[in-house]
Structure 1
Amino acid sequence: MWFSKSIQQTLEELHADTGKGLNDNEAAARLQQYGHNKLTARKRRSVFSLFIAQLKDTLIYVLFGAVVITMAMGEYIDGTIILLVIIINAVLGVIQEVKAGNAIDALKDLSAPKALVKRNGTVSEIASEMIVPGDILVLEAGRFVAADVRLLESANLQIEESALTGESVPSEKDANADLQDGNIPLGDQVNMAFMSTVVTYGRGLGVVVETGMKTEVGKIADIINQEKEEKTPLEKRLDELGKTLGKIAIGVCVVMFGLAWFQGRDLAENFLTAVSLAVASIPEGLAAIVAVVLSIGVTRMARKKAIIKKLPAVETLGSVTVVCSDKTGTLTQNKMTVVRFFDLTDQEVELKEKENAPSDAALLLSKAMILCSDATFENGEGTGDPTEIALLRLGDQLGIDRNKLATETKRKDELPFDSDRKLMSTIQEENGKLTVYTKGAIDNLLDRCTMVQHNGEAIPITTGHIEQFKKATKNMSANALRTLAAAYKSLDGLIDHEEMEKDLVLIGMVGMMDPPRPEVKDSIRQAKQAGITTVMITGDHKDTAFAIAKDLGIADNKKQAITGSELKRNPDGDRQLTSYRVFARVSPEHKVKIVRAFKSEGQIVSMTGDGVNDAPSLNTADIGVAMGVTGTDVARNAAHMILADDNFATIIAAIEQGRNIYNNIKKSVIFLLASNVGEVIAMVVAILIGMPAPLMATQLLWINLLTDTLPAIALGMDPGDPDVMKQSPRSPNESFFAHGAAQRIIIGGIAIGLLTIGAFWFGYYEHGYSPYDKQVPDNIHEYARTMAFMTIICSQLFYSFTFRHSVKSVFQTGIFSNKYLVGAVALALVLQLLVMGLPVLQKAFRLQMLDLQGWIYALGLGIIPVVLSEILKLFKRMNKRSTP
């Protein structure tokens, strides 16, 4: 039991070194010995079980019954074809599920948490699954604990362990606690930290003692296996739609069979036809196609640095109307650089690239910033907050030896940064003396300072001094500089935390520049064009925030900016919040208030966040967006989407992709419904008017196989509309059949059905017969059915091109711009020719090769739905242009 062992015993047993950590060779050897640090993943269903699952459907059972009846009647070819179609459909369903599963697994890998580890003498961030026993783990607020660790150091460390203990209150940790009782429960093991728990406050250092399934959380439950795969709201709606259509189709087919019986037709043949029509008319491939399109879409988004954690987020993305974004790192480059500093001795000084003779005040200011930091910066790479990294680089620029400073000082106590205090303090021991160093927001620090550093000595601070600092702050902020101040005081001995940040000596402050990302301005302009409002939320000074917001085009009037303190005094409550575009000096609880204010107006809100305290606002937002680079594990876990590059432009790109994914799903579904309606109309109308059935059971199933897979999936992979961001956001309550979709289903279905009947009639007419003649040779029946068969397939395949856009012509979208659709249609036509041309298949499907006139008619009739669609689109474009 690791908690009962001393720190020294633990380190010796694990052969661990707190100073350097493991080297790469030792880490690799231990990884080989202990395995990857991850919980056993849920076993993927076998291909066989997936195949069997495809067959568990009422309509498939009916088809199996039809196979038995057909075989019993001696129609072995028809029975074999129906069986083959069932198997092929099932195989295609398995392929789609496997592809969707692989895409989701890849996304889980992309969003896996990282851990800070000391290896080869430096601290670096690595994937948590690469952690091994003996690794020295750095624990920071906001990070998940990557493995079970025995704590070596703890500074005000608190860890939320409710996943293990059920206690909602964070546990206070003490690395030096001596626990000898071997029966101490997990919640009382204060010198341990456990995998999957969350550091909520303070910092710590620990040695990894257990990984993977040997951790406490591994013994209790496999967290990943507990996650239930739920269908998205869209998939649920389509499921319901499929069931409704199924009931309607079965009702129609029962009526059709009744008519056939009443008309004295061959009951056995019409039974098979009715069953096949029921199967063909129900878009049972809807759910699979939606899953494939979603998985393909989110994989594309991941390549563009937007990792979707929860699939419903894809649907919601297309409806976003407000994007609330952090400034630092999202709108800006997150490359803070100190460009100016201010103190009473030197006043305001521009920091040049090389400062040959920095003043004592500048050195003291920089020293205070370095000693009051948890960041690291070595060999051009840093870990931790970008602001703190910039302060370390300032020390290097001024010639301060940080390694020497680290050996000459020792941190004895600290008060970590707090979003309410906006300060961080440490107590350092140097040459036997104790000193408090505090850094933070100048407004908060001024209230705690009674002295100020001037000409190398501390003097009482006056109103004039305070005004000088405030004037310098305003000047820096007006130039879009972020300000940060530092103070100190000498101690006679350790004091409690309440006294730590009182009666300080103000040293000075620095101004840092984090320039906007060059691509953000265009993204904000694009968002505005798409009906999306961009709101900046930052902890920076109001003037700094507004200066950047104005430059980016977020705000054009300073009245559109408000601070957190002004929010508290807002007499109108939440009513006026939505009129602001810049929220400065805000705390995390303000973020929740801002989100709720926008949502109360019916807006769909996206909110970015990176800290522990951002989790509530990420949960409250319709789309919570976490930073993948600088964000904490807690924020990433609470979010719906993770930005792998922390870039605002990626959010807008993701919204664009989300809109296109939804539109692609809609294209596939509407195409399927139009095609199926056409098949139903062709069969029912022909029988109602006393004609023979234009299509046989096996032919219906073949049509369904071709059109419900290749073109439908290809439409789901459409490159998307380049003008999609010129449209207003879609309402989340918008009907799936809005914007003329229902009209396209009805008009297209009727056209396809009637054209099929017309081609069927022409097949008789071409040979001098009528479908109503009683004495018609079998070969003429086969020819007429071949005409209907070829016409309905051509109609559906050609018609698929018109679904790429509801208003634009196929020539505007580009006939060949969707290579998947072109390939799908070409492949479907080749397969159709094989069925018609190969003697074995020709006999099996009871078809004939068409003559030249038949081919001309079949292809010509197949183009008519496209022409009708183009005429309707032309009227839509004309109406759109004439509408003011």
Structure 2
Amino acid sequence: MNDDQTVGLTSQQVSALHKSHGWNELPQTAGPSALRILLRQFTNVLVVILVIAAAIAFVAGERIDTIAIGVVIFLNGALGFVQEWRAENALHALRNMLSPQATVLRNGRQLQIPARDLVPGDIILVATGDRVPADAALIEQTALSADESALTGESVPVSKDSDDATILMGTNIVEGRGMARVTDIGTQTQFGEIALLTGSVIPRQTHMQQQLGQLARQLGAAALMIGAGVMLLGLLYGRPATEMFMTAISLAVAMVPEGLPAVVTITIALGAAALVRQHALTRRLQAIEALGAASVICTDKTGTLTENKMTATRIWTPQEQYQITGTGYDPAGYIAAGQAKRRASNDPLLAQLLAVCAGCNNATLQHDRTGWTMIGSPTEGALITLAYKGWAPLPDPENILDERPFNSDRKRMSVLRQTADGPQVFTKGAPEKLRDLCSEILGPDGPVPLTDAGRAEIDAAYTALAENGHRVIALATAPAPDGILREEGLVFLGLVGIIDPPRPEIPDAVAQAHSAGARIIMITGDSPVTAKAIAQSVGLQPDWVITHDALAAMSDADLADGLAQDMLIARAQPADKMRIVSLLQKQGQIVAMTGDGVNDAPALEQADIGIAMGIRGTDVAKDAADLVLLDDNFATIIAAMREGRRQFDNLRKFVRYLLSSNAGEVVAILCNILIGGPLIFLATQILWMNLITDGLTAVALGLEKPEPGQMKDPPRKINAPVLGWSGFAMIAVFGVYTGLCSLWIFWQLLPVDETLARTAAFTAMVAFEKFSVFAFRSLRSPCWKIGLLSNPFLLLALVVTLGAQVAAVYWPPLQSLLHTTALGWAEWQMIGLFCLPLILLPELIKTIRITGDSNGT
């Protein structure tokens, strides 16, 4: 080596290079600032309308109204901020992508320094388990392999031989050791260049946000027009300007559901908190609801559908075929031939094969309180675990006499060990390479010549294992009496089939996704054969299996036609994900996309719902995502989809509920104006109804459990409205009934006393709104079918809000604030009489409809 390879850079050189190249760090990707998170809580159109309403009330001198609306605005902003800020902090705790330390040669000494201090030209040392701190060119290496899946999406470790003499920032060394010279740092690395592209995609609003925004704009415009029209009409009829101004404000306040933004935020925040307990971290609150509408889920294979733990499941020898139980690197399983368990101690032929599994291996298993972990190559980890399961004796690490590491040309590894029978060669590798190095094959009574028929038998067994998705490793051995490692004249022992097994809960999750009408497209860096085998094992039956090369040759029009089928994309590149997401969205699909690598970030941002892996995902992927899976499990996506559907269903319920309440207030006010009566409700009373009594009830309505069959409904269409004609009809019916009943009570008592009449109408409207809530608990089933006590939060909310209304009528401080007076028994009887139809009629109609549906009418 040259002097600089043993000495490294000097302190003076490092200082000069820092001035010219800067530091080895990326632009901060710590997520939005606290101020940005806070400000975006106030971009909702309904919140903007609340701000305008508060300003009007302030100008009108209505301090109580101003304070009340201001409190709602503050609470809504605070709730949304706290949830999203907590999510960002939790995500920050997950961030551990870049190695914080680097081993470097400087001034002739080996040092541990912060990775950000590296400069081009530094000599770094890497070994198994290290994370590469910068892009670098290898100077020397011994059996070095790196996991580059964070950059390429390919889960198979890359051997760093003469054909690939570079190591890249953010990748992991899984085997071997090496010395390298840093070539690029920070944003000049491949990792850094991709990270800079992450913010290039314009953030998208969810469809619910768009629909609620449109609804809010329509309500706001209607409130302004009707309020202005009523004020102008009153002035033309000679009514006092002050009275008509307050009437217009009351009407505008009644038309806008002031509590809706807070109810939406609280409901989604509570759902997000529930999802954390199911291992999903919500970075953007509305993403949960959007996932409930997903029509296509594009998912990785490795670690999402599978365990991400290579596991030996099959052994083939000329005499026997073995099955292996257990998953991952926990040696709790066993080896069986038929129904009989086998060990090295009672199966001599198996013992020789297991000796190679353990002896030609650099991986190690470790056990602590949390369980078993593996250090080294995943394939070697599977083989050493297999040796443990067969109770094979582990070789002494000191008895290695010679070793030839694996590389991509040789596709094999050999070790010469000193054994009790003398020096022995242990070799493992690709079957097509190893077979030709063998002259014998192990028979029942020892080695026998390997004939053409024997080679054909090996090839057939290899093909059968590979077609079932296994990665196949061949094992061989030979004595070396002269102590020289020769890879010729070997004795073929058998084949081991290794696979990354599917998670046990995935088939059920896939079935639920299909039942919910969501298509699943697997996009993986693995081979088509392996990918298809895993897909079929979890219940995916792709109509079309295509690789990156074929995909790249297709036009967008042809690919769009293909995306209408169930597709599996193998050997995929991260850029393929971005293209697929865009084409699916052009077809009107709502797309959820999973990803973990840096190259996945643009696709995660482009997707309607970007889903990053919390365990193996890069920081850049997590920053681009809306949802982070803390357990990297596809089944968690389905749990989040179920929660999203529950949220949207409940959103429709409480939007209908709140708007029906507002409609009743508007009907009463408008009809009263046309009749020429005094104000039926004061602005403070309307705010009390909209914020206090209705708001708390709506939040409880948002906590309704999922309705039966919810995950069997198809995804809602991209333009599906929050209300629809049935919603408007429901709002109109309830609004007309409650408004006219309140108005009748008001005019019945007006000759007695105006304050009494207004208090009775005000209390009647609150009571009507409380008793009508049962009709909104389910949009399909009557209350008796979903259970009267199934939502205890709603019962508690009714007790609290009705109690608050009683206090508003009888407690002097609230009487003064709301301008009410005590009601007598006669007034309460009158109110109760009109409440009964609100409970009975909607449930009767639902029951008749269900009976008719079951009879086919």
User: What is the rounded CA distance, in whole Å, between the counterparts of 1:146 and 1:291 in structure 2?
Assistant: 41
- Alpha-carbon shift at residue 695 of structure 1 (Å): 0.9
Matched residue, 1:44:
34
- Alpha-carbon shift at residue 253 of structure 1 (Å): 0.8
User: What is the rounded CA distance, in whole Å, between the counterparts of 1:47 and 1:835 in structure 2?
Assistant: 37
Decide whether aligned partners of structure 1 residues 365 and 683 sit closer, same or farther in structure 2, where only a CA change above 3 A counts.
same
- Where in structure 2 are the equivalents of 1:315-330 lying within 5 Å? 315-323=289-297, 330=304
- Matched to 1:738, the amino acid is G
Decide whether aligned partners of structure 1 residues 49 and 600 sit closer, same or farther in structure 2, where only a CA change above 3 A counts.
closer
- Matched to 1:451, the amino acid is L
User: What is the rounded CA distance, in whole Å, between the counterparts of 1:68 and 1:517 in structure 2?
Assistant: 62
- Where in structure 2 are the equivalents of 1:374-523 lying within 5 Å? 377=366, 380-382=372-374, 387-396=379-388, 397=390, 399=392, 401=394, 404=397, 414-415=407-408, 439=429, 446=432, 450-452=436-438, 454-455=440-441, 464-473=453-462, 476=465, 482-486=470-474, 508-512=494-498, 517-523=503-509
- Alpha-carbon shift at residue 42 of structure 1 (Å): 5.9
User: What is the rounded CA distance, in whole Å, between the counterparts of 2:558 and 2:43 in structure 1?
Assistant: 55
Matched, 1:843 2:832: no
Matched residue, 2:795:
822
Matched, 1:298 2:261: no
Decide whether aligned partners of structure 1 residues 651 and 861 sit closer, same or farther in structure 2, where only a CA change above 3 A counts.
same
Contact 1:610 1:627 survives alignment (8 Å): yes
Which of 249, 274, 282 is the matching residue for 1:275?
Answer: 249
TM-score, structure 2 as length reference? 0.71
Decide whether aligned partners of structure 1 residues 227 and 588 sit closer, same or farther in structure 2, where only a CA change above 3 A counts.
closer
- Where in structure 2 are the equivalents of 1:63-142 lying within 5 Å? 63-64=54-55, 66-67=57-58, 69-70=60-61, 79-105=62-88, 107-109=90-92, 111-113=94-96
Per-residue CA distance 1:684-719 (angstroms, 9 max, x = gap)? 121012222211222222222224532233333333
- Where in structure 2 are the equivalents of 1:376-775 lying within 5 Å? 377=366, 380-382=372-374, 387-396=379-388, 397=390, 399=392, 401=394, 404=397, 414-415=407-408, 439=429, 446=432, 450-452=436-438, 454-455=440-441, 464-473=453-462, 476=465, 482-486=470-474, 508-512=494-498, 517-533=503-519, 554=540, 586-589=570-573, 604=590, 606=592, 625-629=611-615, 641-707=627-693, 709-738=695-724, 740-764=726-750, 769=751
Matched residue, 1:782:
755
Contact 1:802 1:866 survives alignment (8 Å): yes
User: What is the rounded CA distance, in whole Å, between the counterparts of 2:716 and 2:686 in structure 1?
Assistant: 36
Decide whether aligned partners of structure 1 residues 146 and 477 sit closer, same or farther in structure 2, where only a CA change above 3 A counts.
closer
Contact 2:250 2:686 survives alignment (8 Å): yes
Per-residue CA distance 1:490-518 (angstroms, 9 max, x = gap)? 9xxxxxxxxxx999998642134776655
- Alpha-carbon shift at residue 781 of structure 1 (Å): 0.5
- Where in structure 2 are the equivalents of 1:234-383 lying within 5 Å? 234-309=208-283, 311=285, 313-323=287-297, 330=304, 337-343=311-317, 348=321, 351=335, 352-356=341-345, 363=352, 367=356, 377=366, 380-382=372-374
User: What is the rounded CA distance, in whole Å, between the counterparts of 2:566 and 2:742 in structure 1?
Assistant: 58
User: What is the rounded CA distance, in whole Å, between the counterparts of 1:527 and 1:160 in structure 2?
Assistant: 27
Decide whether aligned partners of structure 1 residues 41 and 66 sit closer, same or farther in structure 2, where only a CA change above 3 A counts.
closer
Which of 766, 769, 782 is the matching residue for 1:793?
Answer: 766
SS in 2 for 1:736: coil
**Aligned-residue CA RMSD (Å):** 6.0
User: What is the rounded CA distance, in whole Å, between the counterparts of 2:504 and 2:461 in structure 1?
Assistant: 28
User: What is the rounded CA distance, in whole Å, between the counterparts of 1:570 and 1:193 in structure 2?
Assistant: 31
Decide whether aligned partners of structure 1 residues 398 and 11 sit closer, same or farther in structure 2, where only a CA change above 3 A counts.
farther
User: What is the rounded CA distance, in whole Å, between the counterparts of 1:795 and 1:529 in structure 2?
Assistant: 39
SS in 1 for 2:316: strand
Decide whether aligned partners of structure 1 residues 103 and 824 sit closer, same or farther in structure 2, where only a CA change above 3 A counts.
farther
Contact 1:783 1:848 survives alignment (8 Å): yes
Decide whether aligned partners of structure 1 residues 483 and 859 sit closer, same or farther in structure 2, where only a CA change above 3 A counts.
same
- Matched to 2:288, the amino acid is V
User: What is the rounded CA distance, in whole Å, between the counterparts of 2:39 and 2:582 in structure 1?
Assistant: 45
Unaligned runs of 5+ in 2: 12-26, 103-113, 119-123, 152-157, 324-334, 336-340, 479-486
User: What is the rounded CA distance, in whole Å, between the counterparts of 2:208 and 2:233 in structure 1?
Assistant: 37
- Matched to 1:92, the amino acid is L
- Matched to 2:345, the amino acid is N
Per-residue CA distance 1:93-129 (angstroms, 9 max, x = gap)? 344234333443355247534678999xxxxxxxxxx
- Alpha-carbon shift at residue 272 of structure 1 (Å): 1.8
SS in 2 for 1:735: coil
- Alpha-carbon shift at residue 785 of structure 1 (Å): 0.5
Decide whether aligned partners of structure 1 residues 398 and 634 sit closer, same or farther in structure 2, where only a CA change above 3 A counts.
farther
User: What is the rounded CA distance, in whole Å, between the counterparts of 1:234 and 1:753 in structure 2?
Assistant: 29
Decide whether aligned partners of structure 1 residues 516 and 151 sit closer, same or farther in structure 2, where only a CA change above 3 A counts.
closer
- Matched to 2:257, the amino acid is P
Question: Which moves more between the two structures, 249-258 or 634-643?
Answer: 634-643
User: What is the rounded CA distance, in whole Å, between the counterparts of 1:613 and 1:53 in structure 2?
Assistant: 31
SS in 2 for 1:253: helix
- Alpha-carbon shift at residue 454 of structure 1 (Å): 2.4
SS in 1 for 2:281: strand
Contact 2:360 2:426 survives alignment (8 Å): no
- Matched to 1:698, the amino acid is T
- Where in structure 2 are the equivalents of 1:800-815 lying within 5 Å? 800-815=773-788
Question: Which moves more between the two structures, 384-393 or 853-862?
Answer: 384-393
SS in 1 for 2:772: helix
- Matched to 2:746, the amino acid is F
User: What is the rounded CA distance, in whole Å, between the counterparts of 1:744 and 1:854 in structure 2?
Assistant: 28
- Alpha-carbon shift at residue 865 of structure 1 (Å): 3.7
Contact 2:357 2:384 survives alignment (8 Å): no
- Alpha-carbon shift at residue 660 of structure 1 (Å): 1.1
- Alpha-carbon shift at residue 308 of structure 1 (Å): 3.9
SS in 2 for 1:242: helix
- Alpha-carbon shift at residue 247 of structure 1 (Å): 1.4
User: What is the rounded CA distance, in whole Å, between the counterparts of 2:764 and 2:840 in structure 1?
Assistant: 15
- Alpha-carbon shift at residue 817 of structure 1 (Å): 2.3
* Number of residue pairs aligned between Structure 1 and Structure 2: 770
Matched residue, 2:807:
834
Per-residue CA distance 1:551-596 (angstroms, 9 max, x = gap)? 76555xxx96868699899999769967987959x32259859889
SS in 1 for 2:437: strand
Contact 2:595 2:601 survives alignment (8 Å): yes
TM-score, structure 1 as length reference? 0.69
Contact 2:250 2:681 survives alignment (8 Å): no
